[in-house]
Amino acid sequence: MSGEEAKVFVITGPSGVGKGTLIKMLRERVPDLALSVSATTRQPREGEEDGVDYHFLTEDQFQERIAAKDFLEFASYSGNHYGTLNSELDRCLAKGRSVVLEIEVQGATQVRAARPDSVQIFIAPPDPAVLRERLTGRGTDSAEAIDKRLKVAEQELGAQDDFDHRVVNDDLEAAANELESIVRSSVGGS
């Protein structure tokens, strides 16, 4: 995708809908696409690496970065803070690479205001009931954490009409195809 206009893609949707899975497929299909590594105060899950999956910060460190105005956007989600560092975005865009932000809805709204040229994509479930099944199947969150995430999901689903694009993740392959086609047509400028 070199030689074309570098874009910021914001991919959001409720927890468990398949954002991470779809973004992994997207990056295999469009290798030049960079992924912004967010900062969070959440504890690392098993297998997650600092600087790769997230920049894991303490609450104090996160507050210092807010005070230093280091964030393009940040939000509180399910008891923890999450945010996109300006430096992450600049690092990718400076190389002329388009970049994907995988963030929740409040952050997406902030990016829309700060960067109206960003391409905003909401990943929706075919039925809200699949979110519990998928989160339980993923096996990374306690029953209590899943309940918290599903509460937030109700509000997030109510915001889907604010997005430029909506991709329903029912059949995984079909959703990945749709996402790839949105990204390719946006970068190509058509």
State how far the Cα of 3 lies from the Cα of 11, in Å rounded to an integer: 23
Q: Binding segment for ligand ADP among 28-36, 56-64, 69-77, 131-139 (CB under 6 A)?
A: 131-139
Identify what 125 binds: ligand 5GP, ligand ADP, none; CB under 5 to 8 Å per kind. none
Residue 83 touches ligand 5GP, criterion: CB under 6 A: yes
Identify what 172 binds: ligand ADP, ligand 5GP, none; CB under 5 to 8 Å per kind. ligand ADP
Residue 86 touches ligand ADP, criterion: CB under 6 A: no
Residue 134 touches ligand ADP, criterion: CB under 6 A: yes
Q: Per the structure block, which two tokens stand in for 16?
A: 């468990």
State how far the Cα of 68 lies from the Cα of 10, in Å rounded to an integer: 24
**Binding to ligand 5GP (CB under 6 A): which residues in 105-124?**
106-107
Residue 88 touches ligand 5GP, criterion: CB under 6 A: no
Give the residue with the Cβ less far from ligand ADP, 45 or 95: 45
Q: Which of 59, 172, 185, 188 binds ligand ADP (CB under 6 A)?
A: 172
What count of other Cβ atoms lies within 10 Å of the Cβ of residue 171? 10
Q: Which residues bind ligand ADP (CB under 6 A)?
A: 13, 15-21, 134, 137-138, 169, 172
